[in-house]
Amino acid sequence: MLEALTGTGLAASAGLNAYIPLVVMGLLARYTDLIDLPTGWSWLANGWTLLILALLLAIEVVADKVPVVDHVNDVVQTVVRPTAGGLAFGAGSASETVTVSDPGSFFGSHQWVPIAAGVVIALCVHGVKAASRPVVNTTTAGFGAPVASTAEDVGSVLMSVLAIVLPVLVLVGLLFLVFGGVWVVRRRRKRAKRTQLSGSGTPHPFG
């Protein structure tokens, strides 16, 4: 159960920001004893890997805070975030952490299962994030983009750390994501209704 929560938290984090969970895992594995990456994932703690991920993270952090550019970034990240989610779930769920001592007993030899699960989870979270940004930009004339993006980055960091240190609290983070998804759906429906009403109230030119 803890392995699944660790993987889920890291994949959800990747849905918000593709590179944060990978950087967090790499740094913690390289400089602390909080996580011990399995042999197949030890490259995440490599110095060059962390440098490249840090540069990519810096680019996304900036791009995601600029209206219009954030939408283009979300389109590009439609492929990147699910991929990162698969990597994060696979590496995190197969790692020995402060709370998980025998990850192999959970997943066994089905190596593709955690990666596929991570892709699906990250894709769902990314979908909510990408759908919410136009709503935020429209209702705040673009001024809400950096605020929303910063909140997502902070949430991604917290989710990544909790997934490794205290995975049970990942459930709380997932509840917030569910509420966020419900909010996005409701806001988009309200906008659609307003558009329909304003369209139906327009007089016909030959009427």
CB atoms within 10 A of CB 81: 29
Confidence of residue 114 (pLDDT cuts 50, 70, 90): confident
Could you tell me the residue ranges of all domains in the chain? 2-200
Mean pLDDT on 20-46? 89
Q: What radius of gyration, in Å, describes the C-alpha atoms of the chain?
A: 19
CB atoms within 10 A of CB 151: 12
Q: Cα(203)–Cα(147) distance, rounded to whole angstroms?
A: 40
Percent of the chain with pLDDT over 70: 80
Residue 18 has pLDDT above 80, yes or no: yes
Distance (Å) of CA 44 to CA 14, 22, 38, 41: 15, 7, 10, 6
Contact criterion met (CB below 8 Å) for 81 and 128: no
Could you please report the per-residue DSSP string of 160-191? HHHHHH-GGGHHHHHHHHHHHHHHHHHHHHHH
pLDDT of residue 108: 57
Q: Furthest-apart CA pair in the chain: how many Å? A: 75
Mean pLDDT on 37-47? 87
pLDDT of residue 110: 63
Over residues 171-191, the pLDDT tens digits come to 777 787 777 667 766 776 676
CB atoms within 10 A of CB 206: 4
Mean pLDDT on 66-85? 89
